[in-house]
Amino acid sequence: MSLFAAQRDAHNALLEGATAIQGRSLWQDASRRFKANKAAMAGVMVLGLITFSAIVAPSLSAYSIDDLDWMNITAPPSLETGHWFGTDDTGKDLFVLTWIGARVSLAIGVMTTAVALSIGVIYGATAGYVGGQTDNAMMRFVDVLYALPLLFFIIILVTVFGRNIYLVFLAIGCVEWLTMARIVRGQTLSVKQKEYIEAARASGAGSAVIIGRHVLPNVVGPVIVYVTLLVPTNILVESYLSFLGLGVKEPLTSWGVLISRGVNTIESAPWLMLIPAILLAVTMFCFNFIGDGLRDALDPKDR
């Protein structure tokens, strides 16, 4: 008994030593590299601040989104009136409008990307995993869609089915999955050749299990990078739609809606366009810096 106990203690001591010198995983390496990237970290912080403001800021103002301040119509930004970003031509407070718009724009960016991600990952993983003629046909179809100006289809969809915010989510997502599918397919093709996939198949795992548990976790790097670049793209697409008068409807608003309305008064009341436009641009910068940082962190052989 005491012999076993001694042996166990010895084993435990060995194991303790093992955990103490545990090697760094790929992800720990990547996160260390990402944290060293100042531009990317600044991007994360500013984006966090914008998101936080979008949630909290509207309730900080003395005005609500429905208030029409008849004493201050198209008033410039000022601290005294409490209209920190000024007011528009109906006396609505731009501070509240801008941050409510931020909610909608960010939500659209995230939701549409989620839709595109689901379609793209499933489509790409299937094509890459099955391979052969199926892969050929599926990717040929993507090539065909790639050549089309897809915004046209979004515009047709939105005009035909009405300007519903959920439809905007779906329409943009259904159109922006192509690159995702290409990336996932390419990665899947290369992962498929690895020995651990062969081992999984040899031990009797089905296709669905292999794709879900072995292939997808290993293609995640490039997908994350592309997601951070797709979110701002989709925010822009929504702004384009709003700019053309096809985006979200009143009483909801988005940065695109605010910018397009601000353009009309760019000479007399430039803040109506500039404030939402600057926030939109800053958000774009943040996402791009984060995306670049993630790419450098996950794929250090470049640069």
Partner 1 sequence: MTSFALRRVLIAAPTLFIIITLSFFLMHWAPGGPFDAEASLEPEVIANLQAAYDLDKPVAIQYGLYLGKVLRGDFGPSIVYIDRTVTELLAIGLPVSLRLGLSAMLLAILIGGSFGILAALRKNSSADYAVMSMAMTGIAVPSFVMAPLMSLIFGVILKILPVATLEPRGSLAEAIPALAPITPYIMPVIALALPQIAILARLTRGSMIETLRQNYIRTARAKGLASRNVVWAHALKAAALPVVSYLGPAVASVVTGSIVIEQIFQLPGMGRFFIQGALNRDYPLVLGIVIVYAVAVIILNMIVDLLYGVLDPKVKRHA
The whole-angstrom distance between residue 195's C-alpha and the CA centroid of its chain comes to: 33
Compute the CA torsion angle 187, 193, 198, 200 (nearest 10 deg).
-10
Across 5-120, the runs of DSSP E, i.e. the strands, are none
Confirm or reject binding of residue 218 to partner 1 (CB under 8 A). Answer: no
The distance of closest approach from Cβ of residue 68 to partner 1 in the complex, given in angstroms and rounded to an integer, is 26
Q: Are 186 and 221 in contact (CB under 8 A)?
A: no
Q: How far apart are CA 110 and CA 240, in angstroms?
A: 17
∠ CA 73-78-83, rounded to 5°: 55
End-to-end CA distance of the chain, in Å? 60
Q: Among residue numbers 219 through 238, which ones bind partner 1 (CB under 8 A)? A: 236
The single residue listed with the structure tokens 């053309």 is: 244
Whichever of 72 and 239 has its CB closer to partner 1, that residue is 239
Binding test (CB under 8 A) with partner 1, winner from 151, 210, 220, 252 = 151
Q: How far apart are CA 135 and CA 217, in angstroms?
A: 21
The distance of closest approach from Cβ of residue 272 to partner 1 in the complex, given in angstroms and rounded to an integer, is 11
Q: How far apart are CA 93 and CA 86, in angstroms?
A: 6
Confirm or reject binding of residue 248 to partner 1 (CB under 8 A). Answer: no
Q: Among residue numbers 160 through 179, which ones bind partner 1 (CB under 8 A)? A: 160-161
Binding test (CB under 8 A) with partner 1, winner from 36, 148, 199, 209 = 148
Two tokens, residue 176: 């922006």
Confirm or reject binding of residue 132 to partner 1 (CB under 8 A). Answer: no
Confirm or reject binding of residue 76 to partner 1 (CB under 8 A). Answer: no
The distance of closest approach from Cβ of residue 301 to partner 1 in the complex, given in angstroms and rounded to an integer, is 10
Q: Are 213 and 206 in contact (CB under 8 A)?
A: no
Confirm or reject binding of residue 157 to partner 1 (CB under 8 A). Answer: yes
Confirm or reject binding of residue 138 to partner 1 (CB under 8 A). Answer: no
Is 248 buried (19+), middle (13-18) or exposed (0-12) by CB count in 10 A?
Answer: buried
Confirm or reject binding of residue 149 to partner 1 (CB under 8 A). Answer: yes
Binding test (CB under 8 A) with partner 1, winner from 107, 150, 174, 220 = 150
The distance of closest approach from Cβ of residue 167 to partner 1 in the complex, given in angstroms and rounded to an integer, is 11
Residues of this chain that interact with partner 1 (CB under 8 A) are: 144, 146-153, 155-157, 159-161, 236, 239-240, 243-246, 259-260, 263, 266-267, 270, 273, 277, 280-282, 284-285, 288, 302
